[in-house]
Amino acid sequence: MIRVIIERRIAETLEKNYETAALEILSASVRAPGFISGESLCDLDNPRHRIVLCKWRSRLDWDNWCQSQERKELMSKLTLMLEKDESVTVLDSPH
* pLDDT number for residue 76: 96
CA distances from 68 to 29, 33, 47, 62, 64 (A): 10, 11, 29, 10, 6
Residue 1 has pLDDT above 90, yes or no: yes
Range of the domain at 85: 2-90
pLDDT, mean of residues 31-47: 97
Residue 95 falls inside a structural domain = no
In a domain, 20, yes or no: yes
Does residue 85 belong to any structural domain of this protein? yes
Domain count, the chain: 1
> Residue 5 — very low, low, confident or very high, per pLDDT cuts 50/70/90?
very high
Residue 34 is classified by DSSP as: T
SS3 of residue 57 by DSSP: coil
Q: Which amino acid is at 93?
A: S
Q: Are 6 and 51 in contact (CB under 8 A)?
A: yes
| Mean pLDDT of the residues in the chain | 96
* C-alpha–C-alpha distance, residues 76 and 91, integer Å: 25
Percentage, residues of the chain above pLDDT 90: 97
CATH number, domain with residue 71: 3.30.70.100
Confidence of residue 95 (pLDDT cuts 50, 70, 90): confident
21 assigned to some structural domain: yes
pLDDT at residue number 94: 83
pLDDT in tens, 52-88: 999 999 999 999 999 999 999 999 999 999 999 999 9
Cα gap 62→3, rounded to integer Å: 9
Confirm whether 67 is domain-assigned: yes
